[in-house]
Chain A
Amino acid sequence: MTGVVKDTTFIVIPAFNEERAIGVVVAELKVLWPHLIVVDDGSHDATASVAQQSGATVLRHAVNRGQGAALQTGITHALRRGAQIVVTFDSDGQHRAEDVATLVAPIEEGRADVVLGSRFLGSTENMPALRGLLLHAATAFTRMTSGARVTDAHNGLRAFSRAAASRLEIRLDRMAHASEIVDQVAEHGARCVEVPVHVRYTDYSKRKGQTGLGAFRVLLDYLWGRWLR
């Protein structure tokens, strides 16, 4: 990894009530990557101050607007700061800091505009069976609607070139943004590759993830978004 890439890569971390996990996430990333943007999505806890103390720039949503909204806020800020590569990273400790380099490499080498992390190409740790099933269903659905041949559509670990990030316009504020992003990438004809990443499930991250009922809401939200276009 060259110094130039480090200086122009911005990592966007949307966070909602993550005071317990965000400190470690930011500290681990900070070792390698200087530009971290935590978007505190109207948390009721100390997420913002913990993130700031750990070394991240913090943007604060006055009220909770959802992960999609927080991502778009962070991406917009990164672009205004002159980011050449924008990485999105979950705040609950699911992702490994060392995977960011894998994600950035195809863009740095000019092979891709968008890089999606895939836990199914890579590996998972303690993933509940039901969660896996749900993710496979969601991925099949996204393949169908976007035509993109992805293996893991709902992974928070992604990287975008400046051009690809600039064209992104996340309108689905809540969780359905994951499908929306893949749709837009496919629509814009951006060169997209997947890279294997590792996702670790802890009791903490499992509590904060989607359940069956939540997935149904995500689906409705997504269909509404498609229909409006």
Chain B
Amino acid sequence: MTTFQISAFVFLGLALAATISFRLRRQASFRVAFAWALLWIGAAIAIAWPQITVRVAHFLGIARGADLVFYLAILGMFVGFFAVYVRFRRMESEMTRIVRELALRTPKEPDSE
């Protein structure tokens, strides 16, 4: 086992433990915790048996396993950005509703009346 593999397993093990503990304390929904756990386990498998990524890569017509992982990482990041953007827009519109509600509760009448 290489030094890289050992350090990667330590990191991924900690990440998985953190994910499980988050879920146990009900700080993450099952769906979200499950997705993260899958990611950590998938990474561990790819690092333990790199030939698997090569096989999948070849099946898809990609030359190297590392390229496949790289493409997946980029794709994952874009999906992540988009999810964050959607959430951001939703929070913006919720904020507008709060600001509007506060404004409507405290109208200031004109000084002349």
Contact = CB atoms under 8 A, between A and B. Distances in A.
Given A57-B109, A69-B99, 7 more contacts: A39-B103, A52-B110, A58-B110, A59-B103, A63-B95, A76-B100, A77-B104
Q: Which range contains the number of A residues in contact with the other chain?
A: 20 to 34
Interface of A: 36, 39, 42, 48, 52-63, 65-66, 69, 72-73, 76-77, 80, 171, 173, 224, 228
A53 B99 contact: no
Contacts of B103: 39, 59-62, 73
B99 A65 contact: yes
Nearest to A173: B96
Instruction: Select the residue from B89, B104, B108, B110 with max chain A CB neighbours within 10 A.
Output: B110
Contacts of A171: 93
Nearest to A51: B110
Contacts of A48: 108
Contact of B107 (A57, A62, A63, A173): A57
B112 A58 contact: no
A55 B110 contact: yes
Contacts of A66: 96
A77 B107 contact: yes
A62 B99 contact: yes
